[in-house]
Amino acid sequence: MKRPNIAVFLILMFMSGTLSGCLGEDGLDLIPEKKGIPGGLTLACLRSSMYTSMVIEIDHEPGYRPFSSSTDLLVERLESVCDKPSGISVDFNEVNFDHDGSWSAQDVRDKGWDAKDTSPRDGTTLYWQILFPAGTYDTDSVLGVAVDASTVALFSDSIDEADGPFGRPSVEDVENSVLVHEVGHLLGLVNLVYESPIDHEDDEHPGHSNNDDSVMYWAIESADVANFIFGSLPSDFDDADRSDLAGLADGSLPIRDQLWS
C-alpha cells in the first residue's frame, strides 16, 4: 500500500469520540495514514464525483469465510444507497491474522491495516474492508465492530452462539444482519457524522436506531439478537436511515469529519 508523505500527519485531525459497543471505543492510531472514524468515508460511498467504483475486501481466517448470502445482501444494500456507476464488487482473501486471545478495537485496526490489499482510496475506487477473524471481541457478546472509516470486523465464533433457541434466527440470518449493520456504521448511521432531523437514535445506545425494524437497531450488534424469535430479523435500512443517507448524498443534511468531501 502506498504511504503518504510526512505532510499528511501534520494535518491529521480526529474527533475524540464517545463511541461504544460495536463502534470500537478505544483510540485510533492515525499514523502513517489518516484512518478516520466510522462514517469518515460516507460521502465517498454515497457520491460518484470522485470514486466511481467500490470493492469490499473480505479478509477471513481459514474456515471463517462468510455466507455468500451475507456478502450478496451487503452488495445489494450498498447499491441501493451508494452511487457507484462502475459497480460494487467483493474480493475474498484467506488470511492468518496470527492473533491470540480476545480482540480489542485496536487489534482489529492494526491487523486490518496490516492485511489491507490497498489504500481505502485508490484512484477512482473506494475500498472498504471486513475482517472475519477467529476468536471473540473483548466483550464476547459483541458480534461486530466498526473501528475506523473503512474497517469493520465480524466475530463468527460469537455469531455461532447467537442463533435463537429454536433456530430462529439462524446463524446465517444473524450474520446477514450484523454485516449490514456494521457497514451501516461506515455509512455514518446513526448520527455518527451528522445530526438527523428525524428522532430515530436510541437514547441509551448512541449511534443506533430505536426502531426494531431497522438493521441499525441497537440489539443487532450483540447477542441480544437471539431474542428475535418471532418475525424476521431486520436486514435492511428503514425509511429514517434512508432519508438520512439521501440528505447526506444531496448535501441537504450537513456532514462532518469526512476524509474526502
CATH class of 20-250: alpha beta
**pLDDT at res. 226:** 53
Minimal CA–CA distance to 140: which of 158, 162, 153?
Answer: 158
**pLDDT at res. 232:** 77
**pLDDT at res. 13:** 31
Locate 184 and state its grid cell: 451501516
**pLDDT at res. 24:** 63
**pLDDT at res. 25:** 55
Residues of the chain with pLDDT under 70: 1-21, 23-33, 163-168, 223-231, 261
pTM here is: 0.87
> Cβ contacts of residue 46 below 8 Å, gap of 6+?
81, 82, 83, 187, 245, 248, 249
Domain ranges of the chain: 20-250
> Cβ contacts of residue 93 below 8 Å, gap of 6+?
57, 58, 59, 60, 115, 117
**pLDDT at res. 221:** 73
H helix runs in the chain, sequence order: 42-46, 68-81, 105-115, 156-159, 171-186, 239-250
**pLDDT at res. 89:** 98
H helix runs in 30-134, sequence order: 42-46, 68-81, 105-115
**pLDDT at res. 123:** 94
Longest pairwise C-alpha distance within the chain: 56
